[in-house]
């Protein structure tokens, strides 16, 4: 009877909560915790992965949503290794994804090993900007590229960096493609705000 209750509780848990996501997050945390600290916050970091059965779509490739999920874990690993995650926690800040754009270049097949190369491209007064690349270990081909805006709530990127590095770090110049992308998401935000204003006036 007790076994049946336990199994029922586990079934209910797995049906209503993405348990594997939280277990994977805990694993990434402990992996990064016991790895050497990376002092350079601008250094590229690599996070290994492999396409498993639960990653597949109907065509036998890694499905599109899994790329974004893997990027989540790679960013968390990145922030753990360079100290930005722990610093943000100590400062009472939260980092949330404000925007992301991914470009797919070639599909990743079943059991294909890959690595996610993550680096901070720069920051402004409200957010960090990162690039994440999916690189096939089979031939080194860049299968997908993602740009991410990581908003900082209740703090600022500059303050977090100063807390980690114990000094002011100058933000590198943004690459041209990042400038274009920021212009796009800024224009999109302005258009949505204007649209919301019109909607409110019409009510």
Q: Identify the CA nearest to 181 among candidates 78, 60, 100.
A: 100
- Please state, in angstroms and rounded to a whole number, the distance separating the CA atoms of residues 184 and 136: 29
Lowest mean pLDDT among 48-52, 56-60, 199-203: 199-203
Q: Tell me: the pLDDT tens digits for 128-166? A: 999 999 999 999 999 999 999 999 999 999 999 999 999
| Domain coordinates in residue numbering, the chain | 19-172
- Please state, in angstroms and rounded to a whole number, the distance separating the CA atoms of residues 118 and 121: 9
Q: pLDDT value at position 15? A: 80
Class of 19-172 in CATH: alpha beta
- Degrees (nearest 5) of the Cα angle 197, 200, 202? 110
pTM: 0.90
Buried b (16+ CB within 10 A) or exposed e, 148-166: bbbebeebbbeebbebbee
Q: Are strands 113-123 and 127-136 parallel, antiparallel or unpaired?
A: antiparallel
- Please state, in angstroms and rounded to a whole number, the distance separating the CA atoms of residues 185 and 98: 10
Phi, psi for 12 (deg, rounded to 5): -65, -40
């Amino acid at each position: 009877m007790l076994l049946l209750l336990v199994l029922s509780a586990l079934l209910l848990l797995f049906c209503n909560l993405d348990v594997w996501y939280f277990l994977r997050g805990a694993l990434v945390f402990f992996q990064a915790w016991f790895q050497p600290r990376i002092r350079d916050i601008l250094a590229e970091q690599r996070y290994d992965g492999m396409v498993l059965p639960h990653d597949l779509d109907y065509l036998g490739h890694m499905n599109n949503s899994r790329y974004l999920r893997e990027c989540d874990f790679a960013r968390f690993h990145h922030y753990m290794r360079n100290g930005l995650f722990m610093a943000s926690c100590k400062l009472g800040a939260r980092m949330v994804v404000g925007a992301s754009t991914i470009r797919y270049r070639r599909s990743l097949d079943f059991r294909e090993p890959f690595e996610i190369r993550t680096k901070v491209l720069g920051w402004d007064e409200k957010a960090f900007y990162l690039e994440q690349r999916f690189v096939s270990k089979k031939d080194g081909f860049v299968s997908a590229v993602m740009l991410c805006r990581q908003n900082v709530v209740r703090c600022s990127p500059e303050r977090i960096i100063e807390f980690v590095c114990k000094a002011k770090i100058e933000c590198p110049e943004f690459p041209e493609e990042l400038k274009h992308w920021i212009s796009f998401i800024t224009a999109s935000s302005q258009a949505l705000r204007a649209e919301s204003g019109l909607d409110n006036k019409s009510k």
